[in-house]
Amino acid sequence: MLITELVLHPIAISDPPLRSSYGLHAPFALRTIVELKTDSGLTGISETYGGDGPLAGLEAVRQRVTGMDPFQLAGLSRDLTAEAAHEMETTPAGGRTQTYLVPGENPLDRYARTFAAIEIACLDLIGKAVGKPVCDVIGGRVRDRVSFSAYLFYKHGVFSGPEDEYGEVLDPRSCVRECRQMIARYGFREIKLKGGVLDPDVEILTLRVLRDTFGPAYPLRIDPNCAWSIETSVRVGRELKDELSNGGYLEDPCATLEGMAEVRRRLLAENNSTPQASNVAVTYFADVPRAQALDAVQIVLSDPHYWGGMRNVQYLSHLTSVLGMGLSMHSNSHLGVSLMAMTHVAAACSNLTYACDTHYPWQTAEDEIVQGGRIPFVNGCVQILNRPGLGVDLDYDQLARGRERYARIPYRKRDDEAEMRQHVDPAWKRVLPRW
């Protein structure tokens, strides 16, 4: 089986006005759907970041991929790793941190992102060729269903057009309402709040009200995307000691591994062992042992899209296990192909210690591009179906609508700061730490 064609579908999907420390989500999120056609008649698919940058990265490997055997991925990995290493050498120290960039937008991750998009489509092909689900192709599942968390956001009401199902959420009470709606619909059993948006005292109150409402059976985590100083991080960690215990965590409270290590030291000195997770200070393999040595991060957030594919996430699962660390999964706005890639790899990670993140509840059936529509959740979990590959096929009518939407809009790169200036605060600039 040889790859005969790489087909790229740039699409746009509706996205609600969600807030984070970066700013505001634009009304459209950008994705790229990848198809690898082969001489066997099988087609492999994947979903990755959208817009000009990711598209250019994939275009750059078009020739390299055409004619490739999808079973032989190591050569492509070697070549892209070498290009990434060259770029690392020529980038000033510290240039790799994602702190000031929207997750997944780090230019130094582009080789890993490009490889991941190709690898996942190849694994889908291999699964289809051998008649096995991808999770079993990559070594076998350790679970049949994968648990995801309720990913809560503070958000505005929709600025133009019909209101979304969650409405405005800018205080603790409405956040509880959002959580109730999400849990009623999806059955999630863990709760994550995207913080760094409102005054830390309001966010502390939000977590307290969530705990009072849902009880300790629902572990809580908060992710302010580095919006807090070390001082504020320690204060929030102290105030939320009870709420973040029992399976919760503090995610990227402040910038840098050194900053997080200091927060950890000060909290431990107060007998507060709330673990810290990161998808900002730890974004590739070399970060992991350093994070562990500094005791800055106890839980690494994986993501097949930018960690270099599904098997790299399995390696990360092994590495974190060896180092005595936990593993969870980061997410970006995505549709069903990505959700199934995340589910398959999570199913095949022996060291997965928390429910994974997903933005899926924030997308709608109108935009879904897999046949049969939205992927169902049962009790907060996505089930591995006994189907070959990722187990989903493209709905080409829906895909065409996504492409038309993409062609119609001016967005070609995610820019939450610009969106924030346009709709909320003309003077907005991302400042770290804000509090």
Q: Are 327 and 352 in contact (CB under 8 A)?
A: yes
Q: At what angle do helices 110-130 and 52-59 cross, to 10 degrees?
A: 60
Q: In angstroms, give the least distance from the CB of 284 to Mg ion.
A: 15
φ and ψ of 251, to 5 deg: -105, 125
Distance CA 151, CA 194 (A): 7
Alpha helices per DSSP H over 187-256: 200-214, 230-239
243 touches Mg ion by CB under 5 A: no
Contact pattern for Mg ion over residues 216 through 235, marking x by CB under 5 A: -------x------------
Looking at the Cβ atoms of 121 and 325, the one nearer to Mg ion is 325
Distance CA 376, CA 313 (A): 24
279 touches Mg ion by CB under 5 A: yes
Distance CA 96, CA 94 (A): 5
Which residue among 128, 192, 330, 359 is the active-site one? 330
Looking at the Cβ atoms of 278 and 363, the one nearer to Mg ion is 278
**Cβ atoms within 10 Å of 286's Cβ, excluding its own:** 11
Sign of CA dihedral 80, 81, 87, 92: positive
CA atoms within 13 A on the CB side of 323: 24
Looking at the Cβ atoms of 129 and 299, the one nearer to Mg ion is 299
Q: Which of 386-422 are b and which e, b meaning 16 or more Cβ less than 10 Å from the residue's Cβ? A: ebbbbbbbbbeebbebbbebbeeeebeebbbeebbbe
Region of 151-159, 202-210, 275-283, 358-366 interacting with Mg ion (CB under 5 A): 275-283
Query: Amino acid letter at 357?
Result: D
Q: In angstroms, give the least distance from the CB of 65 to Mg ion.
A: 31
Looking at the Cβ atoms of 48 and 279, the one nearer to Mg ion is 279
Looking at the Cβ atoms of 406 and 435, the one nearer to Mg ion is 435
Answer yes or no: 156 catalytic. Answer: no
Looking at the Cβ atoms of 223 and 416, the one nearer to Mg ion is 223
CA atoms within 13 A on the CB side of 327: 26
Q: In angstroms, give the least distance from the CB of 123 to Mg ion.
A: 25
Looking at the Cβ atoms of 137 and 277, the one nearer to Mg ion is 277
Distance CA 199, CA 331 (A): 24
Contacts with Mg ion in 388-417 (CB under 5 A)? none
Q: In angstroms, give the least distance from the CB of 244 to Mg ion.
A: 15
357 touches Mg ion by CB under 5 A: no
Looking at the Cβ atoms of 210 and 300, the one nearer to Mg ion is 300
Answer yes or no: 330 catalytic. Answer: yes
Looking at the Cβ atoms of 104 and 388, the one nearer to Mg ion is 104
φ and ψ of 46, to 5 deg: -155, 170
**Cβ atoms within 10 Å of 361's Cβ, excluding its own:** 22
Region of 279-287, 316-324, 368-376, 393-401 interacting with Mg ion (CB under 5 A): 279-287
Query: Amino acid letter at 112?
Result: A
Q: In angstroms, give the least distance from the CB of 334 to Mg ion.
A: 15
Contact pattern for Mg ion over residues 312 through 341, marking x by CB under 5 A: ------------------------------
The CA distances from residue 376 to 92, 239, 309, 381, in Å, are 45, 36, 24, 8
φ and ψ of 262, to 5 deg: -65, -40
205 Cβ partners below 8 Å, 6+ apart? Answer: 172
Q: Are 19 and 194 in contact (CB under 8 A)?
A: yes
Place of tokens 């948006």: 197
Q: In angstroms, give the least distance from the CB of 277 to Mg ion.
A: 8
Direct distance between the N- and C-terminal alpha carbons of the chain, in angstroms, rounded to an integer: 55
Which residue among 9, 128, 194, 344 is the active-site one? 194
Please tell me the count of residues contacting Mg ion according to CB under 5 A: 2
Q: In angstroms, give the least distance from the CB of 192 to Mg ion.
A: 9
> Nearest-5° angle of CA 277, CA 281, CA 282?
75
Q: In angstroms, give the least distance from the CB of 252 to Mg ion.
A: 5
The CA distances from residue 355 to 166, 338, 344, in Å, are 22, 16, 14
Q: In angstroms, give the least distance from the CB of 329 to Mg ion.
A: 10
Which residues does the annotation mark as catalytic? 194, 330
Binding site for Mg ion (CB under 5 A): 223, 279
